[in-house]
Structure 1
Amino acid sequence: MTLLAQRNSQLFSVQSVTSRANLMAAPPDSAPVPGAITEWLSKLAVLKGVPFGYLVPDEAMLPAESIRFFVLDPNWINALFEGATSIGRSSTRDAALDARLVAQLYAAVAPAGTVSGFVLRSNVVAGWPGIEVRAYDANHNRLTGVLRQDVLSPTVLLYMTTGQISYVDIGEPSEAMHFGVDIGQTSKSLRYVTVPAGAQPNTRPGDQVDKASVAVTYRSAGGGKRVLKIADLAKALETALVANNANLVPGTQQQRPFTPAEFALELVEGVQTVRFKNTTQEASA
């Protein structure tokens, strides 16, 4: 049995050498890169599978309620690819084969040239499960090549996109729109129903009237639930619209009627959005 095992071992060794020789003799572009390899390296190109400790090695770099912008160094990704593809490379023959196939491999994966993003650590990640992110470059162009928007933990969000981020708008899900006022709010901002001739350029119906608001009052017998005085609020909104010419018949100075439709428009509470600016931008290598 021992002799048989030795012969089997020698046979497998010969088969391995023969297989490698045939592989070296074949042209590097004779077959496409296997899909499993392309998929694996494509995930590595956007840091999937990379331990979080490699991305944020110290917790102090990402304290609670903070956001950190970054630009992905392509040299770091190249080193990551090199390490990943060197698994099993045990001879100069393997190294020579890798050198012949590297161009084909990179062409198959096609990693993005400029990639930037941010890591957000905040309770809003858990509080807004459908959080929406819109990233823009320095020329205010929307960056639409989103590569990742993943919740890594209940309070940590990783976002990556092609291009270099100048600022991002992070907001509640769009379906969160409702009517009313925020808890504890003592005033309600006024919105244009129609836009008068003297308004700022590009003002649209529904935009807020600059520095115009009405007081919000509550019933004293609301059982602790702060019930609005609807009639008083409606009257105050109607008066403010007249004073600001914000509900005129278009092209005239004639006031439009104040109906439940206008009242509903004034009470629309849009989704909350916060803008973060990347004030220390660095050009990618």
Structure 2
Amino acid sequence: MTDSAPSPFDPAAGRSWRSRDATGMVSAGLKAADAPDPQVSQAMLQWLAQLTLLYGVPFDYLVPEPSMLPKESLRFFYIDRNWTDRLVDGALSVGMLTTADAIFTEAMFQRIYEEVEAAQLSLRPNLRDKPLPENGTLGTPLAGLLFRSVVVAAWPGLELMPTKAGNPVTILRMDRLSKDVMIAIFAEVPDAVAVIEPSEGLHFGLLDDPKHQGRYVVSLRGLGFGGYAAGVQIKQGSEFLTAAVPLRTGEGQPAGVIDVAAGVASIEAAMPSGALGDGGKITSGGFALQYLRTAGRQDYSVSTDKTCPSDEGNER
């Protein structure tokens, strides 16, 4: 018996018949032979897409140890496509009754999974009755996050904005797993993710004065004069400008009520030169603008020191 190169399906070589490399080789051979495409119903594709996005996967499989996701924490993760391949493989095995069925599934698996990946992009838009994303990508490593916080419970409409090199990354799944735990899965690995309070959370409010406990300030916003854009916080150097918020004092005065006249004077005194226009006075609308509190936002940068674990079965 003569020596030969190891079979690509040799388990001793780190490969198996069920590896993505192996099914890819079989699929390529079928394409060359002009074999017919497998007919998979849309309902089946949507169900398989849900599986690959971890719908129905027990939470203990995602977080096997509670200390891995403590309270008030956010954890990023990658999804091993070989693992989700096997998940789909197991789901398809339910319909295998004969050896011929098994061989057909093995041969067509690569094509079926390509259709499942395409269904991943349409799953969330279909559930939300939204158009399909224009920037969706196929075949890239998937990433996601688990967020456990009272923020999840307090703001059901919490928003995420993942980006890569400044470009938006498609969100494939975003759901609450419990009252205070949220999961999100992205179509590719982002380098930054912003967590944003619901945009409808616009309201009036104050900020605690970091220099004087028990006192309050407002962030100064431009009014469209002196080169300061309307509604944009005014910044000098590395700090945003603020103005003290005086409250009513004296006998018989209710607690926590703003002294409007003194508040106007405080804002006018704190505004930089030219920011109030030629009159040097702030209008009622300008006064109200200073007290606006927009939705809060927290930015996270994903470390580039450790990228998605690369193994031959994941790369395509």
Q: TM-score, normalised by structure 2?
A: 0.70
> Does 2:182 align with 1:153?
no
Structure 1 residue 39: deviation in Å? 1.8
Query: Which residue in the other structure is 1:140 paired with?
Result: 166
Structure 1 residue 28: deviation in Å? 6.9
Equivalenced residues, count: 245
CA contact (8 A) 1:72 1:284 kept: no
Within 5 Å, give how 1:73-84 maps onto structure 2.
73-84=80-91
| Between 127-136 and 86-95, the greater mean CA deviation after superposition | 86-95
Within 5 Å, give how 1:103-252 maps onto structure 2.
103-110=110-117, 112-113=138-139, 114-137=141-164, 139-143=165-169, 145-182=170-207, 186-194=216-224, 196=226, 204-210=229-235, 211=239, 212-220=241-249, 221-224=252-255, 226-241=256-271, 243-248=272-277
Letter in 1 for 2:144: G
Equivalent-residue separation in structure 2 for 1:255 and 1:175 (angstroms): 34
SS of the equivalent of 1:208 reads coil
Structure 1 residue 216: deviation in Å? 1.3
Deviations 1:65-111 (A, max 9, x none): 00001122212211211222222535433321212332342233135
Query: Which residue in the other structure is 1:251 paired with?
Result: none
**Percent identity of the aligned residues?**
32
CA contact (8 A) 1:33 1:104 kept: no
Equivalent-residue separation in structure 2 for 1:175 and 1:157 (angstroms): 20
CA contact (8 A) 2:207 2:218 kept: no
Equivalent-residue separation in structure 2 for 1:131 and 1:218 (angstroms): 33
Equivalent-residue separation in structure 2 for 1:208 and 1:216 (angstroms): 17
> Does 2:58 align with 1:29?
no
Query: Which residue in the other structure is 1:65 paired with?
Result: 72
Letter in 2 for 1:146: I
Deviations 1:12-51 (A, max 9, x none): xxxxxxxxxxxxxxx9737621233212211112111111
Could you say which structure has the larger radius of gyration?
1
Gapped regions of structure 2 (runs ≥ 5):
1-33, 119-137, 209-213, 311-316
Equivalent-residue separation in structure 1 for 2:253 and 2:181 (angstroms): 39
Gapped regions of structure 1 (runs ≥ 5):
1-26, 198-202, 249-253
SS of the equivalent of 2:75 reads strand
| Between 261-270 and 116-125, the greater mean CA deviation after superposition | 261-270
Structure 1 residue 256: deviation in Å? 5.5
Query: Which residue in the other structure is 2:123 paired with?
Result: none
CA 1:273 to 1:31, structure 2 compared with 1: closer, same or farther past 3 Å?
closer
Deviations 1:220-253 (A, max 9, x none): 34444x1111111111112222x432223xxxxx
